[in-house]
């Protein structure tokens, strides 16, 4: 009987895979087989998800929420405390994420709020990492995450949004909404967190706040003074204007969502960053989201673990414990985790080692399964059957390079092998590109682009090769070689010698042997041969034996006599011709 599952109206591919307890790759493959191209974080509707679930052996039902209109989708922190006793829950400081375009003033706003000049320490005034800080406003503690705004750190920004309660969208009043601003909005909405807009740089003569508000309305963030639900606070980090209003808006929004945690529960949280420091080893900045972390606790973060030797708060002071919503840097891990990894605590390092060993064993088993699937892929590439389509994922540095590249690639295909470009876009190779390549057995090619760290890890895990080039014709040449490798091999027969049967001998336990004279070329023991009588081919098979006098030989050259047996043929006659040939592959 099929296992029943409840699927909501809208669900991401990742969440659907988790619901069915299967790999997201298998879900993507199933969707692709139905003609739907998606990535792991893309949302699909119930009907689409139901089709996939049924084909994977489940009985899907549509999840119907209760009619209470005030119920909102669960946020990350609500999921974390879902198993906690309500009587143990306490109010905790809200965690705020600054999102927005690269130079719209996120770090400058934090600088004013924390009254500490950190911006000068950043490379070129651009934030290069996720920082975490705490500030007080009217006896209320607020935790701030400063996420990078540059497009190169999109993945880190997304993880920052998932760890937060409220997203502050920083929009410059002169520039308005930029592509990265719209991307930040998508991240915040995906995390189901409320958005407060900080309309920065209102002091500039070029500021156009009403135009920016119009743009916000067009993306569904209608300002409160336009009868909307979004708090839009005019501020100037440079002139220190509107900062108190922004903090009041944060606390007002926090009152509405009422973030809670159990200080006595098991410590759980998120890694914000990790780096190696001289004299301290690996220093990992983490945000505690539930429970209270203490010196001496043993952390388990993926395949990294260790007992906490020292713990520091955002100002660098040593602390002995960290309650919910507090960011701290800890030392003691045996390796460097990645930003966005989740941490838990275990009894001791012995327990951690056992859990890591079990995890590594599971990953090795999955790797073997993936290798078998890759074997099938390489068999297809060498033309041993199956689909004759070369699937490509193409990345380029600029649109001006991408369009002619795609056009040139499409011209390489021929009648036998088709090129299917599943995805073509500008920007570096990302984790989503690798997930799509793994699910579709595609090849990733890039022109003048880099590979982000998450994509490198995913490519190594899923055995995906990434080919990058800085000369476009080298890329085209390699793709052409791939196409040729997928074409069915073309073989031709090459005659290497002809012999005349002059006598037939009966050999006990073997049967008839043809005594021959080699007229032209040579006979080889590893060759094929055909028996010709007149103009008719009587028989064709491998050479079974080849003898010169009483000795077995590998070859017989022109002008020599020899004995031969072809396959199981047993009807040689004088004057028959035996033609020897080999089969050679012809390069396309």
pLDDT tens per residue across span 449-463: 988 888 888 887 777
DSSP, collapsed to helix, strand or coil, labels residue 258 as coil
Q: Are residues 242 and 114 in the same domain?
A: yes
372 and 517 assigned to the same domain: no
CATH at 518: 2.40.30.10
Distance CA 49, CA 43 (A): 10
Q: Is residue 178 part of a domain?
A: yes
- Residues 121 and 222 grouped into a single domain: yes
Give the number of other Cβ atoms within 10 Å of residue 73's Cβ: 10
Same domain, 526 and 556: yes
pTM metric for this prediction: 0.53
Residues 342, 270: contact at Cβ < 8 Å?
A: yes
Query: Are 543 and 561 found together in one domain?
Result: yes
105 with 245, same domain: the answer is yes
Listed in sequence order, the residues at least 6 apart from 496 whose beta carbon sits closer than 8 Å to its beta carbon are 521, 522, 523, 524, 527, 580, 581, 582
Please check whether residues 247 and 98 belong to one and the same domain.
yes
Residues 377 and 474 reside in one and the same domain: yes
Looking at residues 2-27, what average pLDDT do you find?
84
Q: What integer pLDDT is reported at residue 151 of this predicted model?
A: 35
CA distance 464 to 393: 12
Answer yes or no: is 330 within a domain.
Answer: no
Q: Evaluate whether 534 touches 501 at the Cβ level (below 8 Å).
A: no
More confident residue, 362 or 14: 14
C-alpha 226/C-alpha 107 separation (Å) is: 28
pLDDT of res. 587: 55
Residues 269 and 287: their CA atoms lie apart, in Å, by 6
482 and 495 belong to one structural domain? no
Do 6 and 63 contact (CB within 8 A), yes or no? yes
Q: Is 170 contained in some domain?
A: yes
Residue whose C-alpha is closest to residue 261's, from 43, 79, 530, 422 = 79
User: Is the separation of the CB atoms in 558 and 519 below 8 Å?
Assistant: yes
Q: Indicate the residue among 258, 277, 295 that finishes a domain.
A: 258
Q: How far is CA 403 from CA 154, 398, 425, in A?
A: 24, 9, 9
Number of neighbouring beta carbons within 10 Å of residue 192: 15
Among left, alpha and beta (phi > 0; psi -120 to 50; other), residue 509 is left
In a domain, 223, yes or no: yes
Domain-located, residue 172 = yes
CATH of the domain at 385: 3.40.50.10050
Note whether 459 and 520 are same-domain residues: no
- Within the chain, what is the greatest distance between any pair of CA atoms? 114
Q: Residue 477: is its pLDDT beyond 60?
A: yes
Last residue of a domain, which of 43, 62, 81? 62
Q: pLDDT band for 214, please (50, 70, 90 cuts).
A: very high
For the chain, report the end-to-end CA distance as a whole number of angstroms.
Answer: 52
Lowest average pLDDT, out of 75-89, 225-239, 497-511, 531-545, goes to 75-89
Among 205, 238, 258, the domain-final residue is 258
In order, the DSSP letters of 443-506 are EEEEES--B-HHHHHHHHHHT--EEEESSHHHHHHHHHHHHHHHSPPEEEEEEEEEEEEEEEEE
CB 498 within 8 A of CB 519: yes
Of 283, 270, 317, 291, the closest CA to residue 145 belongs to 270
Number of domains in the chain: 4
Would residue 332 count as lying in a domain?
no
**Structural domain harbouring 29:** 3-62
The residue written with tokens 């092998």 in the block is 417
Q: Is residue 159 part of a domain?
A: yes
Distance CA 149, CA 156 (A): 9
Note the pLDDT tens digit of each residue in 152-161: 334 444 444 4
- The token duo for 300 is 């388990």
Q: What's the mean pLDDT in 93-115?
A: 81
Domain shared by 240 and 102, yes or no: yes
565 located within any domain: yes
User: pLDDT of 304-337, one tens digit each?
Assistant: 899 999 999 888 889 999 999 999 999 999 888 8
């Amino acid at each position: 009987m099929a296992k029943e599952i409840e699927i909501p109206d809208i669900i991401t591919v990742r969440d659907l895979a988790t619901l069915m307890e299967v790999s997201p790759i298998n879900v993507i493959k199933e969707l692709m087989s139905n003609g739907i191209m998606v990535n792991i974080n893309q949302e699909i509707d119930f009907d689409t998800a139901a089709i996939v679930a049924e084909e994977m052996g489940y009985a899907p039902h549509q999840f119907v929420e209760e009619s209470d209109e005030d119920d909102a989708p669960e946020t990350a922190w609500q999921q974390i405390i879902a198993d906690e006793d309500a009587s143990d829950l306490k109010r905790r400081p809200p965690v705020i994420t600054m999102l927005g375009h690269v130079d719209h003033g996120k770090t400058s706003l934090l600088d004013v709020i924390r009254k500490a000049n950190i911006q000068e320490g950043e490379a070129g005034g651009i934030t290069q990492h996720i920082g975490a800080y705490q500030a007080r406003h009217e006896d209320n503690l607020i935790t701030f995450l400063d996420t990078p705004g540059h497009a190169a750190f999109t993945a880190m920004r997304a993880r920052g949004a998932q760890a937060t309660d409220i997203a502050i969208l920083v929009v410059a009043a002169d520039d308005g909404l930029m592509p990265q601003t719209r991307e930040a909005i998508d991240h915040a909405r995906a995390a189901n967190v409320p958005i407060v807009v900080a309309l920065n740089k209102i002091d500039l003569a070029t500021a156009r706040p009403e135009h920016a508000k119009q743009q916000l309305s067009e993306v569904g963030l209608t300002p409160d003074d336009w009868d909307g639900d979004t708090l839009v606070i005019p501020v100037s980090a440079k002139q220190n204007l509107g900062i108190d209003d922004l903090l009041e808006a944060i606390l007002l929004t926090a009152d509405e969502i009422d973030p809670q945690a159990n200080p006595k529960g098991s410590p759980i949280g998120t890694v914000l960053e990790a780096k190696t420091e001289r004299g301290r080893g690996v220093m990992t900045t983490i945000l505690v989201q539930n429970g209270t972390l203490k010196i001496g606790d043993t952390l388990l973060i993926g395949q990294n673990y260790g007992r906490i030797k020292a713990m520091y708060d955002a100002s660098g002071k040593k602390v002995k414990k960290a309650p919910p919503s507090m960011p701290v840097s800890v030392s003691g891990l045996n390796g460097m985790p990645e930003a966005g990894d989740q941490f838990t605590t275990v009894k001791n390092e012995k327990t951690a080692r056992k859990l890591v060993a079990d995890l590594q064993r599971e990953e090795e088993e999955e790797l073997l399964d993936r290798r078998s699937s890759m074997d099938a892929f390489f068999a297809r590439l060498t033309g041993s059957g199956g689909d004759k389509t070369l699937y490509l994922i193409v990345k380029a540095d600029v649109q001006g390079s991408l369009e002619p590249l795609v056009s040139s690639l499409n011209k390489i295909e021929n009648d036998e092998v088709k090129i299917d470009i599943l995805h073509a876009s500008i920007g570096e190779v990302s984790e989503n590109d690798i997930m799509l390549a793994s699910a579709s057995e595609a090849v990733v090619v890039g022109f003048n682009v880099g590979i982000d760290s998450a994509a490198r890890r995913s490519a190594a895990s899923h055995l995906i090769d990434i080919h990058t080039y800085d000369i476009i014709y080298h890329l085209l040449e390699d793709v052409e070689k791939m196409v040729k490798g997928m074409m069915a091999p073309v073989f031709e027969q090459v005659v290497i010698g002809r012999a005349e049967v002059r006598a037939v001998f009966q050999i006990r336990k073997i049967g008839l042997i043809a005594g021959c004279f080699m007229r032209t070329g040579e006979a080889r023991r590893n060759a094929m041969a055909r028996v010709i009588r007149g103009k008719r081919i009587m028989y064709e098979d491998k050479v079974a034996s080849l003898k010169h006098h009483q000795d077995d030989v590998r070859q017989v050259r022109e002008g020599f006599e020899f004995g031969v047996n072809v396959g199981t043929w047993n009807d040689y006659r004088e004057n028959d011709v035996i033609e020897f040939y080999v089969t050679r592959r012809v390069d396309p």
